[in-house]
Amino acid sequence: MKNRELSRIFNEIADRLEIMGDNPFRIRAYRRAAINVEGLPKSIEDVPEKELSQIPGIGRDLAGKITEYLKTGKIRAYEELKSELPKELLALLSVPSLGPKTAQLLYKELHIKSLDELERFAAEHKLSGLRGIKEKTEENILKGIAMLKRGKERQPLGRVLPIADSILEHLKKSAPVKKIDIAGSLRRRKETIKDIDLLATSDRPNEVMEVFIQLQDVKEILVHGPTKSSVIIYEDLQVDLRVVEKESYGAALTYFTGSKAHNIRLREMAIRMGLKINEYGIFREKDNKKLGGEKEDDIYRVLGLPYIPPELREDQGEIEAALKGALPHLVTLKDMKGDLHVHSKWSDGSATFERLVEAAREQGYSYIAITDHSQGLAVARGLTVERLMEQKRELQAINKKLRGFRLLYGTEVDIRSDGSIDFPDSALKKLDTVVASIHSGFRQSRQQLTWRMVSAMKNPHVSIIAHPTGRLIGSRDAYELDMEEIFRVAKETGTALEINASPFRLDLNDTHAKRAKEMGVAMVISTDTHVTDQFGFMGYGVSIARRGWLEKSDVLNTLEPDKLLKKLKPHKAGRQSSH
DNA sequence: GCCGTTTTCGGCCCGACTGTTTTCAGTCG
């Protein structure tokens, strides 16, 4: 997608301008534009030229640069900038504690232009003597480079959240904290996380910090102050802990939850109203009178806004919606009534039907759909038509004995490379739900893959497309698809799209979900459970849905089974299945 | 470079910690 590429270019322009010592506000403008272009819920190519400047942070100049890029594949101003500084120099900025000012100094004074050179100079103590640099700084630079080499990438939400929870529990038990919460991008439930931000209140902040830096998990202490400390844990994640007074907790929580872009918008609003916001509260500018800050809601209330849920705080229109009283009532985990993508022992799952029913009931569900793989997917022990029908008979028998719970008859049928469906219609029509998905031929062209999906959605029996883009976070990119076309056909055919809640998929992702909703597409949130523990993934899926602004009414499996089946394709009148 | 219930010019978010400084710049979030 061009969005990501443009975003990268804008960020690189910002980096280059920063090292060159350009106007900081101009630099911020490029960074803001980068964020907004990347977070755009549709491809930048689909935005009409005249509407580009309606994107927040895009004015006349940047709209022109975007158009230039889309038309010619280049931005002349960017090409010129590239000749000013060597590309490798930019890598210096990724060293923690080394910023643009230092990079400029190193380049000007010592002609250092790459990480390797920097490492050599630092190791040979050739940096000392430069203005503001002595031994300690050299040491920090070497440490930073070592850390970079170990590779500190963003990690999946599903890996980081459990770690954060366990640190939180430990601090609750062993440190004198009154309140403690997760903040930062983790609280906003971004799909990948760079560091864990924690916020606490305490009468004895120094003691809290002592406990924190001595946690068993801690590999290295980066910063240790009375109200703020940062450490690296063995899982190669940075954890920041901030302690504030009880009276400031809400303001601090807002502040440390971010996003940065959201906070800047709030502060700009405050300034226009003669107010000031910091992590200690919201104040009247003229006499510094504190108007609130103990509760997070205080900040929004004083600004005249309703409370904005963390998942929306990305400066992607939530402030405008809040001003208009048009914030969505986001779907919650409690709204979920069932799971429509579940594998059993019959294919590549590990649980029996009975065990799945038991686990699903523990989640508070009233139904699940058994959706084992189809025959073409031999690696997953896909079912033949005969086995599929045998499975249905067995499920029917169990259903007869169940009270207040229902097993739906389904399949996760393979969409073959030629776009055909791996079961005949005669079999599909005997099921309650047909979940279709792609498992092979990922490398076909965008046109071919889109066509495959469209063909599948046009099949009258296919009710849901599972993990529509096929991406695996951190290991496999989404396959090439014309998502606008997918959403259009999904709407037209009444096919639902899945938000796959597995923390390594989260597919659709948040921006796709948001766009799908805008286009009127129905969605479901499913876990793709293979072992019963994985029903617990639902929370991740709901988080993604919330980040996509989805409400209960946008998600079909918030419905009880009878109503659900009426909404699921093929919308058979008086449709009945199990009893 | 963006943006407008003060403004099409002149503003642009705010504070903690570190390492280098004898009062502060740089970095980070």
Which residue, among A579, A103, A564, has the nearest Cα to A335 in the 3D structure? A564
DSSP string, A310-366: GGGTTTSSHHHHHHTT----B--GGG--EEEEE--TTTT----HHHHHHHHHHTT-S
Amino acid A400: pLDDT: 95
Which residue gives the smallest C-alpha to C1' distance to B4? A272
Per-residue confidence of chain A (579 residues) as pLDDT tens digits? 788 899 999 999 999 999 998 988 899 899 989 988 887 878 899 899 988 988 888 999 999 999 999 999 999 999 999 999 999 999 999 888 899 999 999 999 999 989 999 999 999 998 988 888 888 899 889 988 888 877 667 889 999 999 999 999 999 999 999 999 999 999 999 999 989 999 999 999 999 999 999 998 898 898 999 999 999 998 888 999 999 999 999 999 999 999 988 998 898 888 888 888 888 999 988 788 899 999 999 999 999 999 999 999 998 889 989 988 899 999 999 999 999 999 999 998 889 999 999 999 999 999 999 999 998 877 777 889 999 999 999 999 999 999 999 999 999 999 999 899 999 999 999 999 999 999 888 888 889 999 999 999 999 999 999 999 999 887 788 888 999 999 999 999 999 999 999 998 999 999 999 999 999 999 999 999 998 889 999 999 999 999 999 999 999 999 999 999 999 987 654 444 444
Give exposure, A281-296, as e/b (b: 16+ Cβ within 10 Å): bbbeeeeeeebbbbeb
Whole-number Å distance between alpha carbons of A549 and A263: 19
Amino acid A501: pLDDT: 97
Model pTM? 0.85
DSSP string, A166-214: HHHHHHHHHS--SEEEEEHHHHTT-SEESEEEEEEE-S-HHHHHHHHHT
**Distance (Å) from CA A237 to C1' B27?**
19
- Tell the CATH superfamily of the A333-568 domain: Metal-dependent hydrolases (3.20.20.140)
**Distance (Å) from CA A134 to C1' B24?**
16
**Distance (Å) from CA A99 to C1' B28?**
10
Q: How remote is the C-alpha of A124 from its chain's centroid?
A: 42
Whole-number Å distance between alpha carbons of A256 and A322: 20
Quickly name the fold that domain A249-323 has: Beta Polymerase; domain 3 (3.30.210)
Two tokens at A28?
Answer: 């911020």
CA dist list (Å): A128 to A95, A134, A147, A411: 18, 5, 21, 67
A475-A480-A486 Cα angle (round to 5): 120
Q: Which amino acid is at A329?
A: H
Which residue gives the smallest C-alpha to C1' distance to B18? A223
Whole-number Å distance between alpha carbons of A268 and A266: 5
Amino acid A572: pLDDT: 53
Q: Which nucleotide C1' is nearest A57 CA?
A: B2
**Distance (Å) from CA A150 to C1' B15?**
31
What are the structural domain ranges in chain A?
2-153, 155-244, 249-323, 333-568
CA dist list (Å): A125 to A91, A130, A135, A137, A144: 20, 11, 7, 10, 16
Amino acid A376: pLDDT: 80
Whole-number Å distance between alpha carbons of A154 and A1: 20
Q: Which nucleotide C1' is nearest A102 CA?
A: B26
- Tell the CATH superfamily of the A2-153 domain: DNA polymerase beta, N-terminal domain-like (1.10.150.110)
Amino acid A151: pLDDT: 63
Instruction: Provide the β-strand partners of residue A243.
Output: A200
**Distance (Å) from CA A91 to C1' B8?**
39
Backbone angles phi, psi at A497, to 5 degrees: -110, 140
Instruction: Provide the β-strand partners of residue A433.
Output: A410
Amino acid A576: pLDDT: 46
For strand B, give the nucleotides within 7 A of a protein CB.
1-3, 5-7, 11-21, 25-29
Amino acid A152: pLDDT: 61
Backbone angles phi, psi at A554, to 5 degrees: -85, -10
Which H/E stretch holds residue A453? helix A446-458
**Distance (Å) from CA A101 to C1' B12?**
21
Q: Are A265 and A303 in contact (CB under 8 A)?
A: no
Q: Are A77 and A65 in contact (CB under 8 A)?
A: yes
Fold agreement between A2-153 and A333-568: no
Which residue gives the smallest C-alpha to C1' distance to B5? A272
- Tell the CATH superfamily of the A155-244 domain: Beta Polymerase, domain 2 (3.30.460.10)
Q: Which nucleotide C1' is nearest A36 CA?
A: B2
**Distance (Å) from CA A31 to C1' B2?**
12
